[in-house]
Amino acid sequence: MTVAIHPTSENSEGSENAEGSASEGYWVEPAAEGSVAESSGDGVHELVAADAREFGVYARTGGWAFALKVARSVRPGGQVAGETPKVSAKEFAELAGCSPERVMRYYKAWDMAADDALVPQFEALSPGQEVELPDADVWLSYYSSRNSATSVRGTAITAAAEAEGIRPTKALEVAENPTALRAAILADPSTAQAARAALLDRMREDPSLQAELARDVVRTEELKKAVATENRAADRIGYVRQVVDSGQVKTPAGQTIDAPAELRAEAERRLSLLDELDDDEDAGEWATEAYDTVKSLVVQTVEANPELRVQERRTKFYSSLQRATKVFEELTLDDAGDLDDIYETDMLDQLESLQQALTACIENLRRATAPAGAAAAAGAVTVPAAPAD
């Protein structure tokens, strides 16, 4: 507990010295009369010592020193003006050159502390009275720099701060100064990381924030590219992880086959390297290397097995055929009456080329499925006879 101390006034000895100097014919600067040769016993100037004492009071008591000035000078709501020399908060603010709201924040802090019996009630104080003050670290538990502490928003911030194990006043101060928060995020990487983690936590329970951030991403070209890059890396890591978890792998044609032991072991090794990366490390290059390595081993596995190699070619053919069929089915001539409006010569040329390619493909398949003799006959070439001499 600390007692608030007023600055000491100039002592008479300094005045007498000043007068003596003037009477002896020495010029004394009028504005400096209060600072001439006034020193305490240990050689420190008295005004410097007074400043140090006041600073010490504030260092030990924080805002309590100012709250005391308000508490002993501002009239409580129940008192009539004529009953006390105290003034209203509005009058005190005018005298102080500040807003009544600021005065009332100190008033309310003292009021709450008085309810907890830390400080005297307003009625027990008179102007100029000194009392023992609580320590500075208690001040923030009662003072709010804004009136938001009792609002719905302030209540939510207070609850979140308590859940994080910090003083609510700290969180309220940050919430009431978004410009300072922005400056800290822009200037300090660790603050930016804390803000990012907090936003991610909040997004899980705030669909509106999710939508807003998603819109921000799609409207910002750099963010869109960054998201695409991260998605690609995540897909590649997922491909490698699936080999490890399921023991199966997809071939380039889309077959699902059992992964050989050596392939699975390499996938496990690559995945362990990825899992060891720190959160702030870029996994893109590692993911690409792991993906390319596993894909290369899959191709080698297919090529080393004749049965798998044939099945791969068959699967690839079917996949291409299905895509081509789907695309061709989308071509429609339902509006036959309007064909003359959309007709272009190259349309017919392309369809005829497609027809020739289909015919050649069909013939190749027929020859492949025909008996050996028929296939040989179909593939035989007639050589013209040599001309007679």
Please state the domain count of the chain.
3
92 and 198 housed in the same domain? no
The answer to whether residue 194 sits within a structural domain is yes
Q: What is the mean pLDDT of residues 293-319?
A: 90
109 and 160 housed in the same domain? no
The answer to whether residue 387 sits within a structural domain is no
Q: 308, 341, 366: which is the final residue of a domain? A: 308
Segment 115-143, tens digit of pLDDT: 889 999 998 999 999 999 988 878 877 87
The answer to whether residue 299 sits within a structural domain is yes
Q: Is the pLDDT of residue 224 over 80?
A: yes
Dihedral over Cα of 180, 183, 188, 194: its sign: positive
Segment 72-90, tens digit of pLDDT: 999 876 566 667 789 988 8
Q: Is the pLDDT of residue 104 over 90?
A: no
105 and 86 housed in the same domain? yes
127 and 170 housed in the same domain? no
The pTM of this model reads: 0.47
The answer to whether residue 320 sits within a structural domain is no
The answer to whether residue 121 sits within a structural domain is yes
Q: 308, 337, 358: which is the final residue of a domain? A: 308
pLDDT confidence band for 151 (50 / 70 / 90): low
User: How far is it, in rounded angstroms, from Cα 331 to Cα 354?
Assistant: 13
CA quadruple 18, 24, 25, 30: dihedral, nearest 10: 10
The answer to whether residue 199 sits within a structural domain is yes
3-state secondary structure of 134: coil
User: How far is it, in rounded angstroms, from Cα 258 to Cα 308?
Assistant: 11
7 and 131 housed in the same domain? yes
Say which residues have a Cβ less than 8 Å from residue 62's Cβ, sequence separation at least 6. Answer: 135, 136, 137, 139, 140
The answer to whether residue 378 sits within a structural domain is no
What is the per-residue pLDDT for 156?
Answer: 84
Q: 277, 308, 339: which is the final residue of a domain? A: 308
370 against 376, higher pLDDT: 370
231 and 283 housed in the same domain? yes
115 and 50 housed in the same domain? yes
30 and 120 housed in the same domain? yes
**Range of 72's domain?**
2-139
